[in-house]
Structure 1
Amino acid sequence: MRLNWCVICYDWLVIRRWGSLYTHTHREITEQVDDFEAGFVRLTEIDHERQHRKPPYLRRQ
């Protein structure tokens, strides 16, 4: 996950990207946020969701 400042359009973007090491496929979602603080809050929410999931090696079973 990244919080990027887009200089061309003057927007803050939260970029979420995930994929597989085995199949080399990936997906990406880009969300526009109002400012740095809103982006940081969104990253914190995403991190909270991820902390409550099982580790990937347990999900494959």
Structure 2
Amino acid sequence: MSGTKDKIKGAVNDATGNVKQGVGKATGNAELQAKGKAQEVKGDVQKAKGNVKDAVSKDR
């Protein structure tokens, strides 16, 4: 199983999180900023998971 799907999902979450953070900052909405940061971290974790899956599949 390829890690490509995880990398794509991670990139989408990362980008969405960045947008939420920006909107939260622009509107003074600290809660939205925090949710955006959390989603960005989730995206980073998903991308890392995809990288690990790809590394494992290359070793086989």
The two structures have a TM-score, normalised by structure 2, of 0.36
Structure number having the greater strand percentage? 1
The two structures have a TM-score, normalised by structure 1, of 0.36
Structure number having the greater helix percentage? 2
